[in-house]
Structure 1
């Protein structure tokens, strides 16, 4: 086990030594995303704002969602979910999509899915400006719990990285993975309290316990603690996310390196 941990640390060291390549590929992903688009980078703000209008209309006006300050409540769930979904789904097909690059030159292959994730993470951090504006407009207080926001952001980043390493490598061997991921994510969002409060499930104890096993539920609840209720996230949520991140990143790197030896043959 100790040797395996040292191996993973070594893999991370290789990536760090190739950080300039990671930076360049991340920058390339950011530029390509909105290339030939009239509004360009403004879509980073317009996408969540348009989704906010749609969900507000559906859940606040039609379904009569009674949650106060619904805009802030929704953004606390919607923005991290958008990053997570875009990061994982984009990185799942990234190895196959960069077959020519992989066959030409050696570099740590993890850089390819990581560049997808980091480019989406940059977008995510920028769109948090919308959330802060919504908090101010709603008159909500931002206090000392804000110091925990970087911790939560790193935890969702770690969760995304670990899961993406697993899925992107498996997708090289089993192309059905990418199709399965699309189906699962359609369901996963509604198993995460993005558009509804957890209190809605108070009369469904078994289902609520199942929802709490979802790591993204813990992320969303931590975000709402910090920016919606101005309280520190429940320490067990943070601890659980740290453990989940460690396990996923550990096994993600191990599995990725194990399958990496057949990348050139399979793609």
Structure 2
């Protein structure tokens, strides 16, 4: 895996160009352009806030901000996995023409979404200012949480993007799984609302660890549990290792299968 990373670094200019290309294509011919990066999370926040705060009567304090802090990392994760899963198949012509580390294709999708994700954090910090929530020293741990989220996303994307070349059902399966995964992650509700006997099961979900850690560092000025960091690190390392192995084993048949 380390050798593969070194090889990818040799092609960093290609990775950079493809990432920029994805960012440009996302808002091509769009009047508002990058402003959609701000409008999308705002609109989702308003819809979910109305549904859960005023219809279902969720009593969580500062619900809109708590929701947004969970919604942003989830949206990055979902968009990255969805786009990366089909990336090899949709770039079949490029795969057949010239040699380069094929991981660059899903990585470019992930990094373009990650840049967009970082931009959307402006919306979160503006909401924090509006609700007069104090930001404390714990926020210095936020970059670590985001890097671990990035690692988890990369590992899972490598697995799914390579498997999707052989089994095209994978992309459809991912869409269905995400519908359930969303509600199994404490995004529209807080972890405290889950009965104690089920809380341990929910925390087996890597995105639950990420969401709760983001909220701890940004909103509550508390250091996430060492168990949360250990869990996120384990998920990131294991998924990246497995992802690298699976991707390399299937990569040889990309050109023929596509």
Q: TM-score range by the shorter chain?
A: over 0.9
Match of 1:23 among 6, 16, 27: 16
- Name structure 2 gaps, 5 residues minimum: none
Q: Does 1:215 align with 2:206?
A: yes
In structure 2, distance between residues paired with 1:123 and 1:87 = 11
Q: Deviations over 1:187-232 (max 9, x none)?
A: 10000000001111126x1x32221110000000000101111111
Structure 1 equivalent of residue 36 of structure 2: 43
Is 1:164 the equivalent of 2:130? no
TM-score computed with the length of structure 2 as normaliser:
0.99
Q: Take 2:29 and 2:5, find their aligned partners in 1: how far apart are those partners?
A: 35
Q: Does 1:188 align with 2:198?
A: no
Match of 2:127 in 1: 134
- 2:232 aligns with 241
Whole-angstrom CA distance in 2 between matches of 1:246 and 1:229: 27
Deviations 1:49-78 (A, max 9, x none): 000110010001101110111121001100
User: C-alpha separation between the residues in 1 aligned to 2:156 and 2:107?
Assistant: 11
Shift of 1:239: 1.1
SS where residue 58 of structure 2 aligns?
coil
Partners of 2:176 and 2:69 lie apart in 1 by 24
State the alpha-carbon separation in 2 of the partners of residues 192 and 13 from structure 1. 35
Q: Secondary structure of the residue that 1:163 maps to in structure 2? A: helix
Q: Name 1:256's counterpart in structure 2.
A: 247
Aligned with 1:81 (options 62, 74, 86): 74
- 1:115 is matched with which residue? 108
**Counterpart check, 1:153 vs 2:153:** no
Q: Find the aligned partners of 1:210 and 1:190 in 2 and give their Cα distance.
A: 13
Output the aligned Cα RMSD: 0.8
Deviation of the 1:137 alpha carbon: 1.4
Deviations 1:7-37 (A, max 9, x none): x000000111100000000000000001011
| Residue 52, structure 1, aligned to residue 12, structure 2 | no
Q: Give the match's secondary structure for 2:185.
A: coil
Work out the number of aligned pairs and report it. Answer: 258
Candidates 171, 180, 183, aligned match of 1:178: 171
Report the Cα distance in structure 1 between the residues aligned to 2:157 and 2:180, rounded to whole angstroms: 18
Greater than 2 Å deviation, 4+ residue runs: none
